[in-house]
Amino acid sequence: MSSHNKCASPDLPFARLAVLIGLTMPGQAMAAGFAIQNQNGAGTATAFAGAAAVADDASTIYFNPAGMTYLPMGHSISVAGTLLHRSLKFDDRGSNALGPFPLGDDGGEGGGLSLIPAGYYSYAINDRFRIGVGVSATFGNKTDYNTTFLGRFQGNYVDLKALNINPSVAWRVNDQLSIGAGISFVKLEGDIQQQLPIGGFPNARNRLEADDTAMGFNVGLMYQVTPAMRVGMSYRSKIDLRLEGESTRSGVGAELVTPAFAKIELPDTFSVAVHQQLNERWEMMGDYTWTGWSSFKSLDVRNGNTGGPITNPEYDFRDSWRIGYGAAYKYTEALKLRFGVAFDKSPVHDETTRTLTLPDSDRYWVAIGARYALSPKSTIDIGYAHIFFDREGIDRRTIVGTTPTGQIIRGKFDTSADLLSVQYNQTF
């Protein structure tokens, strides 16, 4: 269930916000694979548990557009920012040098600091119909090792980022059931760099820069099981892209620029979530979310003139899933405290398919935060989360260029992440 359309940038509300997000889009993926979980700031405080059923503010447009029917009449706006710091360090455990070239070092700090912004707007046409639009970064990964990294010939720099503009509608069918749908306009950009094993040219490198714009869709429903309990379900389609750009070889005399393209399929996702009001002060939420990462097997980059192969790193992803549990406690009329935990299953299934530039592994979230009412129509959310990654290894053999001997990279990754989010919500 996917669609692909070349399209011009849509003329939608929040156009300036879209430009801002495009300029500050994150380089660190914090969900399985290179998906970005942080589509708002409020969800950080509960590890995004039950996001498809929460519907606390306009950011429900991304998680479940049907949730717009739970927002108050009039206009609802949510603007969020998350500072994300990822620590990524490699520890060599017996890698071999590639031919006559020096082995190199552990690459230094491959992670870094990123800003993840997001913005949402919803308007109630009447008590049954809502329209809205969301702007956020949905996929991204940035890994940046030193150029002396021992894995530099397999890749020492990757920067992938996707901007999603998501106009949506929602309809309250009756007192129990609401449904919603949206269209996703996705712009994906990629920048992949690696050193080249060419004797006498220590700065020889190749850089691939490419992008594409495509369309997909999302649907959702919300069902009020009892006055205190609701269930949400949401689905996001696959997005098929054909990235087009240039492959540039430098550091060996005159630059050689070759047209290049690569096909990539961003995965579909399905989430089922529950929100339960336990009493006047306590509420809980939980979710199970599945992501169809098995469609992402490799990144087959080809010559735009001849169609011949340029590079084809193998990823061999498997479908992944996550579960989350969160709770909130109404401390005072103005202050609500939140916390949550989650487990994210990685689509990388063994050491031979783990890559240096996307060294994914299973992860565990622990999160806390709060919402404070500044006035009857405005609130602010603050959330903090720490993510623990399993300490996984790599044992990957790659033939690089025309070098007759391959290189085996063996080692362990030490990865962790910290997220600090702020979100402002306004109704009028």
pLDDT in tens, 145-178: 999 999 999 888 999 899 999 999 999 999 999 9
Residue 24 has pLDDT above 60, yes or no: no
Q: What is the pLDDT of residue 14?
A: 43
pLDDT band at residue 30 using 50, 70 and 90 as cut-offs: low
Q: What is the pLDDT of residue 99?
A: 83
Residue range 319-364, pLDDT digits in tens: 999 999 999 999 999 999 999 999 999 999 889 889 888 889 999 9
Q: What is the pLDDT of residue 4?
A: 40
pLDDT band at residue 404 using 50, 70 and 90 as cut-offs: low
Residue 11 has pLDDT above 70, yes or no: no
Q: What is the pLDDT of residue 392?
A: 92
Percent of the chain clearing pLDDT 90 (strictly above):
72
Residue 7 has pLDDT above 70, yes or no: no
Residue 91 has pLDDT above 60, yes or no: yes
Residues in the chain: 428
- The CA radius of gyration of the chain, in Å to the nearest whole number, is 22
Q: What is the pLDDT of residue 298?
A: 84
